[in-house]
Amino acid sequence: MGHVIAIDGPAGAGKSTIARLVAEKLGYIYIDTGAMYRAIAVWSSRTMTAAGDAHRLEQLAISAEIELLPGRRVRLNGEDVTDAIRTPDISALASQIASIGAVRAALVSKQRQIAENSNVVMEGRDIGSVVFPDARVKIFLDADPAERVRRRAAEQPGEHPGALTAQIAERDQRDRSRAESPLVQAPDATYLDSTGMTQQQVEDEILRIVRARISNGKAGSVADAPGQASSAAGETR
Ligand code: DC
């Protein structure tokens, strides 16, 4: 089992950018678990599977071959779905299907499998709380809702700010209040509010936290969850 750095937080907090940079600096593999939920959402949409059909969605999640490739490219069953997973409809659908326990179990199993033999920076909602409760470093990255909307608007210039505000509020509400693995800060995670910080400042702060943990011997061995079969590959940066 490799070292795990868990970065959790709400939509638009800047997790992906920071997690990628940190992975690159440390020579770890970067894993965007949100992309995995999004890939299942794309498949369910194409197969017209109802968002409430838990059994069928579980089957899709178990059998999906998800590859996370360099440059944030994502392949589902051999097809490049990088752009398809980022539409507003898929964002909403991913959040809906992420509330189904059996779908989560299937994807968590793939996530644990990836960390079996690799050091990873894994970002999501439940990485420190559920997927790797014994991760050596856990960070909960937050920012106030207005700032998160501004950051998303910069990434998606075509989107109306009002629509983005509504989408993020709705996803926040669903991700935080669902019964299965809701977005919560793990008790032993370091909370970082990045509101008003530059990307460089956030990166420096996270690297400082990670290095402090590692030099304390906390990351000297490994994290710590059983894995099962998965075809997901990681992005090596
Ligand atoms: O990080 P993201 O916005 O790409 O994630 C898309 C959705 O997937 C998000 O609304 C909640 C869900 N998700 C989750 O429930 N658990 C994770 N570890 C990652 C994402």
Strands (E), 97-193: 120-124, 137-142, 190-193
Ligand 1 probe mutation, 4, 90, 95, most atoms within 8 A of CB: 95
**Ligand 1 atom closest to the CA of 95, numbered from 1:** 10
Burial of 154 (0-12, 13-18, 19+ CB in 10 A): exposed
Ligand 1 probe mutation, 36, 37, 68, 90, most atoms within 8 A of CB: 37
**Residue 230 pLDDT greater than 80, yes or no:** no
pLDDT band at 220, cuts 50/70/90?
very low
**Ligand 1 atom closest to the CA of 91, numbered from 1:** 6
**Residue 231 pLDDT greater than 50, yes or no:** no
**Ligand 1 atom closest to the CA of 99, numbered from 1:** 15
Instruction: For ligand 1, atom 2, name the residue with the nearest CA.
Output: 34
**Residue 122 pLDDT greater than 80, yes or no:** yes
d(CA 190, CA 205): 11
Q: Is 33 in the pocket of ligand 1 (CB under 6 A)?
A: yes
d(CA 73, CA 66): 11
pLDDT tens digits, 123-174: 999 999 999 999 999 999 999 999 999 988 887 777 788 888 999 999 999 9
Domains of the chain plus CATH, in order, are: 1-28+120-237 (3.40.50.300), 33-118 (3.40.50.300)
Q: Are 2 and 119 in contact (CB under 8 A)?
A: yes
Three-state secondary-structure class, residue 193? strand
Instruction: For ligand 1, atom 4, name the residue with the nearest CA.
Output: 34
Q: Is 38 in the pocket of ligand 1 (CB under 6 A)?
A: yes
Instruction: For ligand 1, atom 9, name the residue with the nearest CA.
Output: 95
pTM listed for this prediction? 0.89
Instruction: For ligand 1, atom 1, name the residue with the nearest CA.
Output: 34
d(CA 120, CA 234): 9
Crossing angle for the helix pair 33-46 and 101-114, nearest 10 degrees? 130
Instruction: For ligand 1, atom 13, name the residue with the nearest CA.
Output: 34
**What pLDDT is recorded for position 217?**
57
Question: From the centroid of its chain, how far is CA 147?
Answer: 19
pLDDT tens digits, 62-92: 999 999 999 999 999 999 999 999 998 999 9
